[in-house]
């Protein structure tokens, strides 16, 4: 890729260029790709509609830009390096040529099973190479993949399958995670009881678990690819054809199917990977995310592979067989760029130094973090003990909706500052606005983080609900994309992300809507109502604090009901959404018009009940006193 920035001067120059003439800037970046037909127009946009189109009229296929564009030069080089859950099991490496043939073969299998361009394919798979193969095979034939994180429950999987109207599901018998096996196929079976539209399930054999194959619906992966050709002509896609859907949480209960389209996402994920990680040919790059989240989509699969990089994919968890697993992997493969989440750093920090001191981490050049604000202690630990004071940390701020990194240091180029995402990448125009949408210009300001100009990687809509897309992101502040995050711009013009300003909480880097969790709790037969807020948690960043009103207690008493509420949340959403603290309360603080005053609950959960602000509009002040009395944190 030509558009690599090498110096601070280079960054400033590129940034200015990208703002002065965004169309010319992105047209130049797009030159590097292989198009059947170049675009007629680089950008058409309107944030009112909203309607955002990049590279209109362009024709291409993203997998040709991974494979055909690169095969002559790097065909024999590793594309995907896979480290299994169990360190004693053989790892796997697929070169670009090998991955290409596997993708083609599976693409033909999908076609053979009747999958057409535009069809939605739900993917519920563990972190194995076949997950990447499945995604790319969909892209090859123009089917829209919808990857569902393999930690979601049957109910959540069913919601997502139904919303996207997927008629085929790809899964595995099970997934290894440390000492446990996730029974993926059983969960799919349960989910499909409420998804009559699903005609086919393809099952990869991974754990050799005892599962039931449903006659006429289920087919083994190895049978599906049997006899399929390893040549598959790539479907010609329009620049704005949908590439994938990825569900994320919002402030209402229903998850949002964020839609990304082909050309803009391709250009943006590739450009950002190239610059943010300063990847050089031959480097080994390791992102610890799960492909079920956007980080895995953009920075395990698409970004690295579009750059011809060697991307390492890890099946297991950071703490098994012991808390040194990440560093073993870095040592084993001589990883050069390492990208993880603050929650992982905090939990490994707490495990002590003995897992690190005897590991060779000298190959590391760049360290990255993503998903939540990184506190200074974790930043310094990462910098000192993992980077050994040699590696710049890129604190990358972005979202499922942005498709790729938006605000981040460029390593070795933009000087870092602990807990600051620093400066916007070229093409990105952040603004900070106050509550009424007035832009706060100059430095040393704090407010809501918005974007005033489109970028190629931005989401185009919410699947099946364009109006929700408009309302969520484009109606709070006029003519701006609203991120839902608060941010500060300090005296140096550096950005620091302060966290969500809406009803979304960030638990171990998992984005969860409080309403989603409340819906799950409220479905419990003994619960009348509930309110969920986040509270500071030393490892998870934010923990989940649920205030619950019960009609009566069952025989198990308070403990029993807490347990059964946790079980209910696990089965409705997944174990990662389980409340950490459940306080049974006589009532919730409400205004006279019946609105729950979450502000008060947040204060209590933060352990700061001294300054509750104005509570005169409360219907029943006594409830607040009782809540404070029974608080599960020190107030």
- Give the count of beta carbons closer than 10 Å to the beta carbon of residue 180: 12
Would you say 163 or 395 has its CB closer to ligand WTA? 395
Q: Is residue 303 close enough to count as binding ligand WTA by CB under 6 A?
A: no
Kindly identify the residues of this chain, within the stretch 68-97, that bind ligand WTA according to CB under 6 A.
none
Q: Are 419 and 376 in contact (CB under 8 A)?
A: yes
Identify the burial level of 565 via C-beta atoms within 10 angstroms of its C-beta, where 0-12 means exposed, 13-18 middle and 19 or more buried. Answer: buried
Does 294 sit near ligand WTA (CB under 6 A)? yes
Binding ligand WTA by CB under 6 A: which of 511, 562, 566, 578? 511
Min separation Cβ 635 and ligand WTA, Å = 26
- Cα–Cα distance measured from residue 421 to residue 485, given in angstroms and rounded to the nearest whole number: 13
Q: What is the dihedral of CA 348, 352, 353, 359, to 10 degrees?
A: -40
461 closest CA partner among 256, 312, 633: 256
Q: What angle do CA 54, 123, 195 make, to 5 degrees?
A: 110
In the complex, least distance from residue 248 CB atom to ligand WTA, rounded to whole angstroms: 5
Q: Toward ligand WTA, which CB reaches closer, 145 or 511?
A: 511
**Is residue 500 close enough to count as binding ligand WTA by CB under 6 A?**
yes
Would you say 146 or 400 has its CB closer to ligand WTA? Answer: 400
CA pair distance 534, 330, nearest whole angstrom = 33
Residues between 2 and 31 with contacts to ligand WTA, criterion CB under 6 A: none
The whole-angstrom separation of Cα 75 and Cα 77 is: 6
User: Does 99 sit behind a cis peptide bond, omega within 30 degrees of 0 on the bond before it?
Assistant: no
Site string for ligand WTA, 235-254 (x = CB under 6 A): -------------x------
How far is 273 from 70, CA to CA, in rounded Å? Answer: 17
- List for the chain the helix, strand, coil content (%; round to 5): 30, 25, 45
Among 283, 315, 395, 516, binds ligand WTA (CB under 6 A): 395
Residue closer to ligand WTA, measured from CB, 25 or 381: 381
Q: How far is the CB of 397 from ligand WTA (least distance, A)?
A: 4
Pick 232 or 406: Cβ nearer ligand WTA: 406
Q: Work out which of 22, 303, 484, 574 binds ligand WTA, going by CB under 6 A.
A: 484
Neighbours of 230 (CB within 10 A): 15
What is the smallest separation between the CB atom of 289 and ligand WTA, expressed in angstroms? Answer: 8
**Binding test (CB under 6 A) with ligand WTA, winner from 108, 146, 288, 295:** 295
Residue of 485, 503, 516, 518 interacting with ligand WTA (CB under 6 A): 485
Residue 423 interacts with ligand WTA (CB under 6 A): yes or no: no
Q: Which helix (H) or strand (E) holds 10?
A: helix 8-20
Instruction: Give me the 183-222 binding string for ligand WTA, x by CB under 6 A, dash otherwise.
Output: ----------------------------------------
Is residue 293 a contact residue for ligand WTA (CB under 6 A)?
A: yes
Per CB under 6 A, the list member of 80, 421, 544, 597 interacting with ligand WTA is: 421
Q: 242: which DSSP letter?
A: E
**Tokens for 594?**
């019946």
Contacts of 354 by beta carbon, 8 Å cutoff, 6+ apart: none
Going edge to edge, which strands form the sheet with 366-370? 92-95, 78-83, 310-314, 284-287, 337-340, 366-370, 393-396
Q: How many helices (H) and strands (E) does the chain have?
A: 20, 30
Tell me if 588 sits within 8 A of 547, measured CB to CB.
yes
Stretch touching ligand WTA by CB under 6 A, among 179-187, 479-487, 513-521, 615-623: 479-487
Q: By CB under 6 A, tell whether 569 contacts ligand WTA.
A: no
DSSP label at residue 418? T
207 vs 396 by CB, closer to ligand WTA: 396
The yes or no reply on residue 497 touching ligand WTA (CB under 6 A) is yes
381 belongs to the binding site for ligand WTA (CB under 6 A): no
Among 15, 382, 398, 474, binds ligand WTA (CB under 6 A): 398
From the list 348-356, 375-383, 390-398, 548-556, the region that binds ligand WTA by CB under 6 A is: 390-398
In the range 317-376, which residues lie near ligand WTA by CB under 6 A?
A: 370-373
Q: Nearest distance from residue 562's CB to ligand WTA, in Å?
A: 28
Candidate ranges 106-114, 396-404, 529-537, 557-565; the one touching ligand WTA (CB under 6 A): 396-404
| Contact assessment for residue 564 and residue 601, using Cβ atoms and an 8 Å cutoff | no
Euclidean distance between the first and final Cα of the chain, in Å?
A: 55
Give the range of 201-209, 264-272, 496-504, 559-567 binding ligand WTA by CB under 6 A. 496-504
Strands 180-182 and 175-177: antiparallel
Residue number, 483 or 514, with CB nearest to ligand WTA: 483
Among 506, 508, 514, 542, binds ligand WTA (CB under 6 A): 506
Nearer to ligand WTA, 33 or 302 (CB): 302
Going from the C-alpha of 562 to that of each of 438, 515, 583, the distances in angstroms are: 44, 18, 8
542 lies in the site for ligand WTA, by CB under 6 A: no
Report long-range pairs for 208-215 (Cβ below 8 Å, ≥24 apart): 208/173, 209/173, 209/174, 209/181, 209/183, 209/185, 211/173, 211/174, 211/183, 211/185, 211/186, 212/185, 214/189
Which residues in this chain contact ligand WTA in the complex, by CB under 6 A? 248, 293-295, 370-373, 395-400, 421, 483-485, 497, 499-500, 506, 511
């Amino acid at each position: 890729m030509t558009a690599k920035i090498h110096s601070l001067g280079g960054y400033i120059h590129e940034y200015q260029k990208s703002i002065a003439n965004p169309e010319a800037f992105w047209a130049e970046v797009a030159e590097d790709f292989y198009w059947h037909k170049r675009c007629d127009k680089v950008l058409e946009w309107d944030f009112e509609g909203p309607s955002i189109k990049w590279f209109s009229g362009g024709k291409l296929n993203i997998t040709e830009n991974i494979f055909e564009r690169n095969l002559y030069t790097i065909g024999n080089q590793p594309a995907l390096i896979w480290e299994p859950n169990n360190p004693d099991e053989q790892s796997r490496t697929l070169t670009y040529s090998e991955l290409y043939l596997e993708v083609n073969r599976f693409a033909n299998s999908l076609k053979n099973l009747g999958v057409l361009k535009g069809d939605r394919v739900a993917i519920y798979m563990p972190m194995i190479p076949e997950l990447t193969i499945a995604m790319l095979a969909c892209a090859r034939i123009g089917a829209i993949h919808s990857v569902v994180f393999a930690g979601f429950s049957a109910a959540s999987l069913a919601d997502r399958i139904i919303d996207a109207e997927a008629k085929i599901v790809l899964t595995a018998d099970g997934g290894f995670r440390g000492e446990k096996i996730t029974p993926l196929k059983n969960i799919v079976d349960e989910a499909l009881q409420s998804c009559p539209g699903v005609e086919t399930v393809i099952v990869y054999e991974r754990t050799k678990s005892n599962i039931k194959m449903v006659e006429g619906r289920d087919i083994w992966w190895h049978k599906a690819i049997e006899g399929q050709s390893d040549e598959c002509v790539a479907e010609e896609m329009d620049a704005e054809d949908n590439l994938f859907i990825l569900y994320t949480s919002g402030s209402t209960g229903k998850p949002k199917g964020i839609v990304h389209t082909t050309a803009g996402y391709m250009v943006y994920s590739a450009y950002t990977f190239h610059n943010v990680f300063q990847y050089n040919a031959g480097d080994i790059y390791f992102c610890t995310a799960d492909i079920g989240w956007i980080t895995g989509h953009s920075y395990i699969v698409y970004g690295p592979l579009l750059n011809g990089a060697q991307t390492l994919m890890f099946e297991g968890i950071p703490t098994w067989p012991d808390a040194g697993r990440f560093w073993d992997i870095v040592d084993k493969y001589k990883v050069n760029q390492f990208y993880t989440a603050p929650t992982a750093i905090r939990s490994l920090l707490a495990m002590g130094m003995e897992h690190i001191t005897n590991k060779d981490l000298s190959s590391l050049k760049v360290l990255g973090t993503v998903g939540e604000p990184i506190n200074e202690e974790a930043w310094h630990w990462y910098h000192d003990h993992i980077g050994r004071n040699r590696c710049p940390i890129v604190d990358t701020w972005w979202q499922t909706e942005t498709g790729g990194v938006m605000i981040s240091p460029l390593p070795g180029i933009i000087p870092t500052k602990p807990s600051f995402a620093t400066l916007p990448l070229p093409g990105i125009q952040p603004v900070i606005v106050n509550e009424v949408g007035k832009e706060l210009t100059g430095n040393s300001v704090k407010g809501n983080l918005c974007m005033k100009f489109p970028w190629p990687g931005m989401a185009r809509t919410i699947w099946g609900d364009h109006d929700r897309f408009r309302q969520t992101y484009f109606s709070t502040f006029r003519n701006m994309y609203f991120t839902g995050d608060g941010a500060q711009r300090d005296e140096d013009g550096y950005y620091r992300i302060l966290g969500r300003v809406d009803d979304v909480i960030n638990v171990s880097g998992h984005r969860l809507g409080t309403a989603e969790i409340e819906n799950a709790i409220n479905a419990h037969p003994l619960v009348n109502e509930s309110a969920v807020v986040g509270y500071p948690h030393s490892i998870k960043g934010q923990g989940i604090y649920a205030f619950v009103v019960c009609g009566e207690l069952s025989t198990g008493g308070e403990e029993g009901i807490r347990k059964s509420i946790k079980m209910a949340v696990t089965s409705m959403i997944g174990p990662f959404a389980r409340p950490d603290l459940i306080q049974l309360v006589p009532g919730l603080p409400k205004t006279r018009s019946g609105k729950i005053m979450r502000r008060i609950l947040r204060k209590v959960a933060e352990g700061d009940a001294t300054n509750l602000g104005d509570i005169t509009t409360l219907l029943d002040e006594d409830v607040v006193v009782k809540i404070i009395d029974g608080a599960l944190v020190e107030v």
